[in-house]
Amino acid sequence: MKDQFLSLLSSRPVALILQGHSLSDFEAHREELIKFPMCYGAINDYSIAESVLGREVDFVLAFSPENTYQRGETGSRLTLWDAPARGYNSLHEFLLMCIEWQVPKVFLFGADGYSDDYRPYYKSGINIKQVRIHKDDTEIFNKKFPVEHGKTQIINVSPKSKYRTFVKVSYAECLKILNEDTYPKN
């Protein structure tokens, strides 16, 4: 699993598309973002990520026991199945894997954390279901996730996110980082 994933990355940063309401911002910046070489992925339900991205994701993380996808149903996408359950949730588990495997850079899109009211998950402007991510879930994540990330830089492109354990940036800052990484000044 590790070798396949690192081979797929081929030195590109990871762009993990989650299902938070802030994906409307991703869609607004999609044309700018897809110009950069990134390896796009989703956790469990990849249809939302693909509708916002406008193409297939490169990988799917099938960590959830209630995952409805069967082996072979994810097409050409690299599917990471049966990850060891050492994390608090699927996001936690994936980020721990990235740290362990020394993935240099991970961008999170739609990683909003809890909200004080019911907010829709996002799917190309269509509310697909109303959810309330409980404050306790996000707070437990914040307490359990390590402060030190080793050689892995985790960047949350959701400035209003309730996740506090990684750097939060705006889309303008994200684009600046991607531009500097892709076209370094010598």
Q: pLDDT (tens digit, 0 to 9) for every residue of the chain, 186 residues total?
A: 788 888 888 889 999 998 887 888 998 999 999 999 999 998 877 888 888 898 989 988 876 555 545 444 555 667 665 555 566 677 888 898 899 899 999 999 998 887 665 454 554 444 444 444 566 778 888 888 887 888 999 999 999 888 888 899 999 999 999 999 887 765
CB atoms within 10 A of CB 181: 15
Q: Where are the alpha helices (DSSP H) in 17-110?
A: 23-33, 47-53, 90-100
Task: Report the alpha-carbon distance of residue 58 to residue 40 in Å, rounded.
Answer: 5
Q: Would you kindly state where each structural domain of the chain is located, as residue ranges?
A: 2-180
Residue 49 CB burial class (10 angstroms; 0-12, 13-18, ≥19): buried
User: pLDDT tens digit string along 1-54?
Assistant: 788 888 888 889 999 998 887 888 998 999 999 999 999 998 877 888 888 898
- Output the pTM of the full model: 0.84
Tokens at 11, concatenated: 């030195």
Q: At what angle do helices 23-33 and 171-182 cross, to 10 degrees?
A: 30
